[in-house]
Amino acid sequence: MQQADMVLIGGGIAGLSLAARLARHGRVVVLEGESAPGYHASGRSVAFAHYGLGERIVRTLTALSLPDLAAHAVRHPALHIASAGQAAALDALEDVHRQFGSDCARIMPDEARALVPVLKPEACAAALLDHGSLKLDTNAMLQAHVADLRAHSGDLVCGARVSAIRRYGEVWRVTTSKGHFAAPIIVNAAGAWADEIARMAGVTPIGIEPRRRTVISFAAPEGEDVRAWPFTKTVGEGFYLLPEGRGQLLASSMDQTPSAPCDAASEELDIAIAADRVEQATTLAIRRIRHSWAGLRSFAPDELPVIGNAAGAPGFVWCAGQGGFGFQTAPALSRIAASAALGLPFPEDCAAAGLAPEMFSPARLGA
């Protein structure tokens, strides 16, 4: 039996960013079922930080996180495009950018097409260019948290799949394929499996819904260096498109198909839809999909993160529901989660930005 002060279940960005903070306050062990961290959602993102998703709370978390994200990111513009019928949605998105003080500008459609020359005129009747968005190095983020955890005497145990959780007196006992671990505090950062972990511990689930998202990769137009192309995203339904190196593009139709927790794989139909949406809106002809993948974005019923102590289960802390924004909100969310786990006051800057513990508490979901 390995004893710790805090055991975290899940070696993705949620668990690792929190573990690095908690390790300054006691002995921390992170249990990861796979043979390496970041195997599931955290290894499958497109690694971008922008204001084009979520609602006010998620965007506030993003704004609070951007300064810390800069350590493992480069500035890369985001171009939000609207068709003729989507002007109101683009106006609303521009307001959001202005509220958060983002360095953005409305640009003319021909200016947008100068940035992304393949865009068809009908796909881009109006455009918003955000200079404040970031291309993240998500692998560097994960590795930096692991290094930080270890530098503070914490441990990441991979291949430790949790199969049972019981509470004995003041202590949680966690059974894994790598032995038993015990701590008075356990954190559920198991992503798509968060409800499964709750059930093991006899804790009320929050109704987490994993949703599959597919990404395709294909060759850029012959001889075109696309590295300077912005991350290009339709307002509302459509697609996003972004460069990956000199001659490669990534795209997604922003699919979100409900799924059981699993090792998600891309499906033929989703690949075809992504390619079709790109071809409809651009002059690109996608002759061959070089590579595709899928990952699960996990949402609570209200699509907000779930951070806080479970009712009636002392020492059981939720850190789940990071949806499609787990990296871009990790710096702020991990501070909120650390304060919940340690029983410390809610972070002052988060409160000053209008956030409050109740917004994240599992109690709002009856858990």
Ligand X SMILES: Cc1cc2nc3c(=O)[nH]c(=O)nc-3n(C[C@H](O)[C@H](O)[C@H](O)COP(=O)(O)OP(=O)(O)OC[C@H]3O[C@@H](n4cnc5c(N)ncnc54)[C@H](O)[C@@H]3O)c2cc1C
Where on the chain is the footprint of ligand X (CB under 6 A)?
9-15, 31-34, 39-42, 44-48, 161-162, 189-193, 213, 215, 295, 297, 322-328
Give the pairing type, strands 171-176 and 104-107: unpaired
Q: Cβ closer to ligand X: 191 or 362?
A: 191
Distance from C-alpha of 125 to C-alpha of 106, rounded to nearest angstrom: 11
Nearer to ligand X, 305 or 315 (CB): 305
Question: Quick one: 14 or 81, whose CB is closer to ligand X?
Answer: 14
Complex with ligand X: residue 88 or 265, whichever CB lies closer: 265
Are 93 and 52 a contacting pair, CB within 8 Å? Answer: yes
Q: What is the DSSP string of 196-216?
A: HHHHHTTPPP---EEEEEEEE
In terms of DSSP H, where are the helices of the chain?
13-22, 56-69, 87-99, 109-115, 138-151, 194-200, 268-281, 330-342, 348-352, 357-360
Q: CB of 364: closest distance to ligand X in angstroms?
A: 19
Shortest Cβ distance from residue 27 to ligand X (Å)? 19
Q: In the bound complex, what is the minimum distance in angstroms from residue 251's beta carbon to ligand X?
A: 11
Alpha-helical segments (H) within 127-176:
138-151
In the complex with ligand X, the residue whose CB is nearer, 41 or 338, is 41
Q: Which amino acid is at 168?
A: Y
C-beta of 106 vs 143, nearer to ligand X: 143
Tokens found for residue 28: 């921390």
Closest approach of Cβ 265 to ligand X, in Å?
Answer: 12
In the complex, least distance from residue 330 CB atom to ligand X, rounded to whole angstroms: 7
What whole-number distance in Å separates Cα of residue 95 and Cα of residue 81?
Answer: 15
CB of 30 to ligand X, least distance (A): 9
Sheet with 6-9, side-by-side order of all strands: 155-158, 28-32, 6-9, 185-188, 316-320, 306-309
What torsion do the CA atoms of 220, 222, 228, 232 make, to the nearest 10 degrees? -40
**Please, which residue, 239 or 327, has the CB nearer to ligand X?**
327
**In the complex, minimum distance from the CB of residue 36 to ligand X, in angstroms, rounded to a whole number:** 9
